[in-house]
Amino acid sequence: MKKLIFLFVLGFSVTQLWAQKVIPPDEQYKPKEGLFHHIPLIGDPAPSFTANSTNGIVNFPGDYGRSWKILLSHPADYTPVCTTEIMELASLQDEFDKIGAKLVVVSTDGLDTHLRWKKDMEAISLQDSKSVNIKFPIVEDKNFSISKKYGMIHPATSLTKAVRGVFIIDPDNKVAAVLFYPMNVGRSTDELLRMITALKITAAENVCTPVNWKAGNDLLIPYNPTPSEDLAKTNIKPPEGYYSLAWFLWYKKNN
C-alpha cells in the first residue's frame, strides 16, 4: 500500500512540474496560419490598392505619379494620439508639398467614421494653433486588405487594428523607409520631413547623411575622393568642397 501511495504522489508531482514548464519567449505566441502577413521591406515594390477615402476613390501608389509618398496607418478613428498626428500633418501640408511628398492615411474604420472624424478634427485647434483643413485622404480599410498587404496587422497586438506604421515610397514606387510606433507614443512630423529630405539628396548626389543630419548640414561621401588612404602621410590637398576627419571619414560641404 505504501508503495502504491508513493508512486501516486511521484506521478502527480511530475505532472505538476510538466504543467509549470517555462516556455521560451519565442514560443509563447505562435499566430495561427494565415494571420501573419509580410511587411514590405526597403527596396520592395510598394503594394498597390484601390479603396474609398475621404477624398473619393484612391488608387495607390499610381495616383501619385513620380511624387514621394508617405503611407501612415492608424489603429482606429478618434484615438487621441492619432488625432494629434493627423492635425499636425495637416498643418504642415505646404511643407510636404515643397519637398514633393504626398500623404495618405489608412485606418481600419469605415468611411462614414472617417468623414465624421475629419469634420471634428477640422473644428478644433491644436495647442493654440489655427484650425486645419485636412487635404490628404483618410482611406477606409475595414476589411483589413491594405493593412495585410503592408504587414500592419500584428496578431500578438490585435487581430482587428493596424499597428502604427509609416511607409515612405520613392518616385519609382519602391519602399525607401519603414517605421513602426507603439500605440502610446506620437510620431515626429519633423522626422518625416527630415527623412524625405535626406532620401532625396542622398539619391540625387550619391552621398550619405551623418548622425542628427538636418537640411543644409554637410554630407558624408561613401568613397575616398583622393588616391591616398592616409592624408597624414601625404601632402595631397583635399578636392575643393571636401574635407576629412580620417582617411575613411570624408565630408562634402553642403552650401
Residue 177 phi, psi (nearest 5)? -160, 150
Active site residues: 82
